[in-house]
Amino acid sequence: MSMGWPSARAGQAVGLLGGSFDPAHEGHLAITREAIRRFRLDRVWWMVSPGNPLKERRPAPMAQRIAQAETVARHPKICVTPIETLLGTRHTAQTLDRLRARYVGVDFVWLMGADNLVQLHEWRDWHHIVQTVPMGVFARPGDRLGARLSRAARIYRGARLPMRAAPLLARAPAPAWCFVNLPMSSASSTAIRAAGNWSPCMRKLVKA
């Protein structure tokens, strides 16, 4: 398990999938594979969050979520990282500012599911986020319409790129975003927790 700083060179395009990963699942992997292919990304960092500022529930311990996410991230371009813990940040706007200062010349793309576009206007400094990083948004069951009608989508409708321009997203000046209509995955951490599947999966990991 790598708990250090992930590597990236100037000129590379790096997707950032921030999340609780409590636990990680096939939905995370599916959107990451699509992002790599459609946005021509060199790497995707799964940024395992110390805790979503809008969620009251405390997630499982960081080391446990990282270890489990690494078993799901079966792709040579995915790096699972606790980088927000290293940076000492929790809000995405601040994380992005720190990453840009540390990884000069790297083109970052923010990746998220449609459920997060629906509530993006509740995030701290959300206009700053949209205006400084291109974003790839992925359809999620139940959230497609809500995402289309969301405040962020309406305010920034002029910055939406058509799918045929997806290969240019990482190099596009913000604001710029793409909505990806992929075969949707109904996987969710909430469903896994509700089914009580987190603990058995960790027991297997501990034994291995």
Ligand X SMILES: Nc1ncnc2c1ncn2[C@@H]1O[C@H](COP(=O)(O)OP(=O)(O)OP(=O)(O)O)[C@@H](O)[C@H]1O
Footprint of ligand NCN (CB under 6 A): 18-20, 47, 49, 52-55, 91-93, 116, 123-124
Residue 59 contact, options ligand X, ligand NCN, none, Cβ 5-8 Å cut-off depending on partner type: none
C-beta of 196: minimal distance to ligand NCN in Å? 20
Total of chain residues touching ligand X, rule CB under 6 A: 19
Nearest residue relative to ligand X (C-beta):
113
CA distances from 199 to 8, 120, 192, 193 (A): 34, 31, 10, 9
Closest listed residue to residue 23, CA positions, set 205, 195, 139, 190: 190
Work out which of 13, 29, 66, 112 binds ligand X, going by CB under 6 A.
112
User: How many Cβ atoms from other residues are within 10 Å of residue 160's Cβ?
Assistant: 15
Using the rule CB under 6 A, give the single segment among 5-13, 108-116, 121-129, 153-161 that binds ligand X: 108-116
CA distances from 165 to 4, 22, 26, 131 (A): 34, 33, 26, 18
Residue 107 contact, options ligand X, ligand NCN, none, Cβ 5-8 Å cut-off depending on partner type: none
Positive or negative, the CA dihedral 134, 140, 144, 146 is negative
Using the rule CB under 6 A, give the single segment among 72-80, 92-100, 113-121, 122-130 that binds ligand X: 113-121
Kindly tell me which of 163 and 191 has the beta carbon lying closer to ligand NCN.
Answer: 191
Task: Check binding of 136 to ligand X (CB under 6 A).
Answer: no
Residue 92 contact, options ligand X, ligand NCN, none, Cβ 5-8 Å cut-off depending on partner type: ligand NCN
Contact of 34 with 112, CB cutoff 8 Å: no
Query: Can you tell me the distance from the alpha carbon of 17 to that of 116, in angstroms, rounded to the nearest whole number?
Result: 12
Query: Can you tell me the distance from the alpha carbon of 194 to that of 208, in angstroms, rounded to the nearest whole number?
Result: 25
Task: Check binding of 31 to ligand X (CB under 6 A).
Answer: yes
Query: Can you tell me the distance from the alpha carbon of 17 to that of 35, in angstroms, rounded to the nearest whole number?
Result: 10
Kindly tell me which of 20 and 32 has the beta carbon lying closer to ligand NCN.
Answer: 20
